[in-house]
Amino acid sequence: MRIGILGRFLLLIVALTAGAEVRAQQLPPVVPPEPMPNAQSQATFSTTTTEVLVPTLVEQKNGNIIYGLKQKDFILEDNGIPQKIHVQEEMDTAPVALVVAVELGGASVLEFDKLAKLGPLLDLFLADPRSRVALVGYDSTQHLIQDFTHAGDQVNQELKQLQPGDGGAATLDTISYAVNLLQSQPRSFRRVLLLISEKRDHGSKHAKPAGIIRQIGESDVLVLSVAFSPGEAEFAHDLKDNGEDRTLNMVSALAMLVKGFRKNVTKEIAAMSGGEYTTFTGDRKFEARVVNAAKHMRNRYLITFSPSDPTPGLHTIKVRTVQDYGAKIVARADYWLGPETQ
């Protein structure tokens, strides 16, 4: 059977098409050419408008909270420079995203009986039906025991069957891990880390103090630290460090924080974020500490400001009231301001 000119032409098209398909399968995907290096194509750095959140607790010596303060009643300084601030009219009413991080390594096994009673106390954090809690245990590594849930009874059950870990306490690694978990939650949520551990870090392999300082400084995570001290009883709250004793030099302030991390990372992290640091020895003290932390979380004024000084790096904050109420002010001590790459 003879094939006419039109038939041969059609066969040629089919052959060329098949060949093209084969070559397309063999060739790597097309990568668009990189632009020529010039002022428009190179990476540029610019500091965008940043709003810093400063949760602030105003507590009298008898433990009572001072309510009803307005914007005009506060003075906030960023590296010693007074800032224009905004104070939210109502107290913190947002739903809560809570990560409970408990140490499982080393001597923490002696505290398991107290941790087993923590579950019901978490209801204080989960009053809003939208609120949620996740449980992280850690020794030399981190273990997500329970992902975010509103069912506090699930977390309660897990707390009752904790298993001892190895001899490590990678607190820095765990803080970084927990902050990343919280950052995945909606921005409208109040992000809180409840850290129950020894004071010092033992065996973190990934997170370094300066990196954690920046990570906490760039986030809005509130850290509530409830620490235990093997062989040592420490009863008094230590919340005085609110930036008053920090130098205004950014490099010196960072060096001081790094040094503080080596002595007591749980205290420094809490102070940085505007949270609380406390210790416990007995069962009743532990429960009281957690209850107070939950109550104080909701009794904070939410102060925000846009820094007038855009210098990148660690900034120190000092909050005080115009009138001296003889009260203790617990507020965020530091934040990190860094340029964004566009």
From first to last of the 342 residues of the chain, give the pLDDT tens digit: 444 544 554 444 444 444 444 444 443 343 333 333 333 333 322 334 589 999 999 998 888 889 999 999 999 999 999 999 999 877 677 899 999 999 998 778 888 998 888 888 888 898 899 999 999 999 999 999 999 999 888 999 999 999 999 989 999 999 999 999 999 999 889 999 999 998 889 889 999 998 999 999 999 999 999 888 654 433 333 434 444 444 446 667 778 888 888 889 999 999 899 888 888 776 677 888 888 888 888 889 999 999 999 899 999 999 999 998 888 999 999 999 876 433
- Structural domain contains residue 83: no
Nearest to 202 by CA among 277, 111, 106, 115: 106
Give me the number of domains the chain comprises: 1
Burial class (CB in 10 A: 0-12, 13-18, 19+), 74: buried
Report H helices in 69-129: 112-115
- Structural domain contains residue 115: yes
Residues 43 and 9: their CA atoms lie apart, in Å, by 52
- Structural domain contains residue 341: no
Residues 230 and 62: their CA atoms lie apart, in Å, by 29
Residues 275 and 289: their CA atoms lie apart, in Å, by 13
| Residue position matching structure tokens 């934040």 | 335
Residue 90: the pLDDT is 72
Is this structure's pTM higher than 0.85?
Answer: no
Residues 268 and 273: their CA atoms lie apart, in Å, by 9
Residue 322: the pLDDT is 94
189: how many CB neighbours lie within 10 A of its CB? 18
- Structural domain contains residue 51: no
Residue 230: which CATH number?
3.40.50.410
Q: Strand, helix or coil at 170?
A: coil
Concatenated DSSP letters of 202-214: B--SS--HHHHHH
- Structural domain contains residue 144: yes
CB 177 within 8 A of CB 142: yes
Strand 81-82 to strand 74-78: parallel, antiparallel, or no bridges (unpaired)?
Answer: antiparallel
- Structural domain contains residue 42: no
Residue 235: the pLDDT is 35
Residue 106: the pLDDT is 78
- Structural domain contains residue 311: no
The residue segments making up the domain with residue 149 are 94-300
Burial class (CB in 10 A: 0-12, 13-18, 19+), 42: exposed
Residue 35: the pLDDT is 37
Residue 248: the pLDDT is 47
- Structural domain contains residue 331: no
Residues 326 and 148: their CA atoms lie apart, in Å, by 40
DSSP state of 159: H
